[in-house]
Chains A and B, each alone.
Chain A
Amino acid sequence: MIAGQSARDARIFAIDDEPANLALVEAVLVREGYSHIETLSDPRRAVERHLAFRPDLVLLDLMMPSIDGYALLDSLGRLTMTGELLPIMVLTADTSIEAKRRALALGARDIVTKPFDVFEFGLRVANLIELRLMFKATRPNLRFD
């Protein structure tokens, strides 16, 4: 993990319609030392909140009753500027190979199936944060916040 201090400052945006899971994600992230965590249980407000929060990592549940997770994944992907790298991690209870392929094809950087192993989840989050920070380091003149 490079630039430990800055990694802990990373802004993480978690979207899940199940409050228990949001609570779990937040608990794990807090335990890992992250402080800028935004959780959202109403995915219809995802875009609005995404623009307001300017996350470094998005954690997205794909199966939500009120909205199509794939469509949301697509629209969040479109919010990133050309040339920008904003990792999106998909959290899904759908273990089917089709779901994985589809999510990856739509631009998800990683997929974690629920129920997830708490350690594994923490490591994968760290990986994506690292990727994001490396990208930001290569583009110092871009303003990300």
Chain B
Amino acid sequence: MDSVTSPVIACWWANRPLATKGLVVVAVPLLIFLGSVAALYAISRMEARAEQDVRLTIAIQNDVNEVHALLAEASSGVRGYLLTSEPRFLEPYKRAETLVPQVTARLRGAIRDDEAATRLARIETLAGQKREGLALLLAARARTGADVVGDPAIAAGLAANKQVLDAVRDEIEAMQERERELLAARQDRLDGVRRNGLIATGLLTLVGLVGSLFAVFLFSSGIVRRVQRLESDAVLLAQGEALETRNAEGDEIGSLAGRMVEASRLLRARERALREGEERFRLVIEGVRDYGIFALDPDGKVVSWNTGAQRIKGWTGEEALGRHFSMFYPGDDAHKRSMRNLADAVRDGRTEDEGWRVRKDGSRFWANVVITALHDETGALRGFSKVTRDITERRRAQEALELARQEAEQASAAKSLFLSRMSHELRTPLNAILGFAQLLELERSHAGQADHASIQQILRAGRHLLALIDEVLDIARIEAGKLGLSIMPTSLETIVTEAVGLSLPEAESRHITIVSEAGKLSPVAVDPRRLLQVLLNLLSNAIKYNHHGGTVTVMAHDVGERVRVEVIDSGIGIEPEQAGQLFQPFTRLAAGAARTEGTGLGLSLSRALVEAMDGEIGYMPRADTQGGACFWFELPLAQTPTSPGPLTPRAVPAAPAGPREATILLVEDNLANAQLIEAVVARHLPQARLISAMQARIGLDLALRHRPDLVLLDLHLPDKDGDWVLAELQASLPEIPVILLTADAIAAQGEWAAHGASAVLTKPIDVPALMVAMNTMLQERTA
């Protein structure tokens, strides 16, 4: 029973609410106390009843004795009266007559014992008989008078009376005996009750004591001990220790304990999550190999370390922790510099530095360092995080790159120098050869016919060699990127016309007709001089490789974003298998080699030039059946349409009544443009003085020296860009208006205006626009 029930009870008990427990703990001793009091009361009542019984028995005995005494005295009195006839002897009798019924009545009320009651009834009967006998005696006396001794009746009456009295005496004695027995029994019972009461009191005291102890035990086990356990749990919780999970009792303390366990579990879970997060973070940080990541305290002492830091700096975590980070700085002022970095980080929140740092073994590395100041939520400085990268390799690579760049630049410069020298070295001897040959030819009156022919051979061969050198150098320049192209929107018709015009003498000498079918074309973005060179080359070939009296046709038309030019001859054409070699240097096809002059570089150079101008060049057989060759090239269109070619007569605004003695500075490297502007100024501002420079520096010098009234500035200059000149002019002579001349059609006027330009004119120069601009500026200047 104990093994099963006790836990059940304990469990039941534990699950009661605290109020119930308190009630129980208080009620148990109280109930026991009340029980004890009730028991003592009952015992005292029983004792009192027993005492009363004893007292009653004694009273009954007294009353019985009194009845006997009364009857005996009455009998004696009657006898005395009978003998003496004196009335005073009747007194006991009379008292008995009144008292006996009273006493017997009292007895009847008092007696509860049945036997005693029976005896009392018999005593009463006998007492009545006795009193009747006495009354009869007295009556007989009265009838007979004084002499009663001899009277038999009286004698008989006396004898009978005596018998009755004896019977009463017997009965009383029996009754007394009975009462004595009763008294003894009752006395015994009283004693028993008293003894039992004593025992009961002792027992109750014991029970009360045990009950109180039990209540205390219950209180202790149910509340105090658990509250104590709860307190120790709270202490553990405060220390962050884990609490054991136990069966939570159903009362408030159990619930509290359960909540505390839950809180502990939650705390543990959070702590674990936090720790896991921190661990993960730490592992990530520690595992980073490429970056040295570590923390410093506010004084600059290392407080954390990672793999990368160890790898980069050579110190292990144990060695580095606690040491000042200035040990990573080389030099005598390491501490000062390191603290300056920290001060910068504190001031700006973060500082980045690049420089040499030193490893444990004393070797140096080029480091990129980022130091970030760490503040807590109150804004107090907690320390610094420092991320270090070893970028020695990158620096080396950069240095190598820089070296390579310098070498490339040197190589390029060397190449330029070589070209220049080659040009010089090849041309210098030619100078003497051709010069003296010319002189000899001039003196030919002194020479013979054969000598004259020889001199002609020298001159022809020398000029051929010169052409060859020029073309080789041109190709070399293109390959070296040294061919200074001056790309501008150019009217193709003008170039074609010029090329055809220049080729006419050669064509006429061979009776070859040149037909130009170039119609109205969009301007192309090319270097006009170089385009002319290409066209002359193709025309020259077309004439050379033509038959006597043949034709050369130049056709040009727009093809989308490009313009296509075709030069078609009526010669024998080119064998398809040879077509592939056409643009190779020194390829002179067998067909015409024998009887034609040429360097063999013309097509090669033409291709290089066209490609340098973002064009394309090629060959195809003539489309019709007449044989002959067709060389074509395509060139990109200029961005915007241009005005008609320069010097086209146009309605020029009437010369305004402006100042005439103005000084105009022209900074322009393109000779054609310079000539155009000179012509314009000479014609429309005849009294104006035009000074010109072909280079930016010289232009600026002239401006400073002459302080012109107007500057015309080309943006593309050989030594420095025009915007540099513009900036310099703005800095030193901001009052002088500047008109920009640019081939860049998309240059935004507003943008240049912001840089200080008064006007922007795009090339080719629109003469009326230039006039208007110049007049406006000069008038403003003198106004």
Interface residue ranges, A against B (CB under 8 Å): 18, 20-21, 23-24, 27-28, 31, 63, 92-99, 101, 104-105, 113-119
| Closest A residue, CB atoms, query B718 | A101
Q: Are A23 and B432 in contact (CB under 8 A)?
A: yes
Interface residue from B426, B439, B669 paired with A101 (Cβ < 8 Å)? B669
Q: Which of B427, B436, B442, B482 contacts A93 (CB 8 A)?
A: B427
Given the complex, which residues of A lie within 8 Å of B433, measured CB to CB?
A: 115
B475-524, CB < 8 A from A: 477, 482, 484
Shortest Cβ gap from A4 to chain B (Å): 20
Question: For the complex, is B599 an interface residue (Cβ under 8 Å from A)?
Answer: no
- Give the distance to chain A from B752, nearest Cβ to Cβ, in Å: 25
Q: How far is the CA of A95 from the CA of B428 in the complex (A)?
A: 12
In the complex, whether B438 has a CB less than 8 A from a CB of chain A is yes
Per-residue CB proximity of B695-709 to A under 8 Å, as 1/0?
Answer: 101100000000000
| Range of interface residues on B (Cβ < 8 Å) | 20 to 34
The answer to whether B431 touches A93, judged by C-beta atoms less than 8 angstroms apart, is yes
* Distance in Å: Cβ of B145 to nearest Cβ of chain A: 211
Q: By DSSP majority rule, is chain A's interface helix, strand, loop, or mixed?
A: helix
Q: Report A-chain residues with C-beta under 8 Å of the C-beta of B421.
A: 63
List A contacts of B439 (CB < 8 A). Answer: 24, 27-28, 31, 118
Contacts of B477 in A (CB 8 A): 96
The complex places the Cα of A105 from the Cα of B484 at a distance, in Å, of 18
B424, A93: Cβ atoms under 8 Å? yes
Interface residues of B (CB under 8 A from A): 419-421, 423-436, 438-439, 442, 462, 466, 470, 473, 477, 482, 484, 669, 694-695, 697-698, 718
Task: Determine if B423 and A93 form an interchain contact, defined as CB atoms under 8 angstroms apart.
Answer: yes
Closest to B470 in A: A95
Contact of B420 among A23, A94, A104, A114 (CB under 8 A): A94
Is there an interface contact between B484 and A93, defined as CB atoms closer than 8 Å? no
Query: Which of A20, A31, A113 has a CB less than 8 Å from the CB of B427?
Result: A113
Q: How far is the CB of A140 from chain B (nearest CB, A)?
A: 26
Most buried by B among A114, A115, A119: A115
Are B430 and A114 in touch, CB under 8 angstroms?
yes
Contact B424 A117 (CB under 8 A): no
25 residue pairs bridging A and B, Cβ less than 8 Å apart: A18-B432, A20-B431, A20-B432, A21-B431, A24-B431, A24-B435, A24-B436, A63-B424, A92-B424, A93-B423, A93-B428, A96-B482, A97-B718, A101-B669, A101-B694, A101-B695, A104-B694, A105-B694, A114-B427, A114-B428, A114-B430, A115-B431, A115-B466, A116-B431, A118-B438
Chain B: minimal CB distance from A33 (Å)? 14
A16 to chain B, nearest CB (A): 9
Top 7 A-B pairs ranked by shortest CB distance? A93-B427, A20-B432, A114-B431, A115-B431, A93-B424, A118-B438, A24-B435
B436 to chain A, nearest CB (A): 6
CA distance A114 to B426 in the complex (A): 10
**Shortest CB distance B289–A (Å):** 53
Among A23, A95, A114, the most chain B Cβ lie within 10 Å of the Cβ of: A114
- B466 — which chain A residues lie within 8 A by C-beta? 115
Q: Give the dominant DSSP class at B's interface.
A: helix
In angstroms, Cα B694 to Cα A105, docked, is 8
List B contacts of A118 (CB < 8 A).
Answer: 435, 438-439, 442
- Of all chain A residues, which has the CB nearest B695? A105
CB nearest neighbor in A for B421: A63
- B438 and A21 contact, CB distance less than 8 A: no
- A113-B427, A114-B430 known; A27-B436 Cβ under 8 A: yes
> Could you tell me if A63 and B420 are in contact, using CB atoms closer than 8 angstroms?
yes
Q: Which one of A94, A97, A115 lies within 8 Å of B435 (CB-CB)?
A: A115
Q: How far is the CA of A63 from the CA of B418 in the complex (A)?
A: 12
Give chain A nearest CB distance to B74 CB in angstroms. 189
Choose among B462, B477, B718 the residue with the greatest number of A CB atoms under 10 Å from its CB.
Answer: B718
Given A28-B439, A31-B442, A105-B695, A97:B431 Cβ within 8 A? no
Contact of A99 among B420, B429, B430 (CB under 8 A): B420
A99 to B424, CA, bound (A): 12
Which of B420, B434, B669, B695 contacts A115, CB < 8 Å? B434
B462: chain A residues within 8 A (beta carbon): 115
Q: Does B470 lie within 8 Å of A117, measured CB to CB?
A: no
Q: Which residues in A have their C-beta under 8 angstroms from that of B419?
A: 96
Q: Tell me the bound Cα distance from A94 to B433 in angstroms.
A: 17
Once the chains bind, are B423 and A117 in contact (CB under 8 Å)? no
Q: Point out the residues of chain A lying under 8 angstroms from B427, CB to CB.
A: 93, 95, 113-115
List the A residue with the shortest CB-CB distance to B443. Answer: A31
CA of A8 to CA of B420 in the docked complex: distance in angstroms?
A: 35
Asked whether, in the complex, the Cβ of A94 is within 8 Å of the Cβ of B423, the reply is yes
Cβ 8 A contact of A94, one of B424, B430, B669, B698: B424
Q: What residues on A are CB-neighbors of B429 within 8 Å?
A: 18, 20
Q: Which B residues lie within 8 Å of A28 (CB)?
A: 435, 439
State in angstroms the CA–CA spacing of A116 and B431 once bound together.
6
Which residues in A have their C-beta under 8 angstroms from that of B473?
A: 95
Cα distance, A38 to B291, chains bound together (Å): 74
Structural contact, B436 and A96, CB atoms closer than 8 A: no
Across the interface, name the chain B residue whose C-beta is closest to A24.
B435
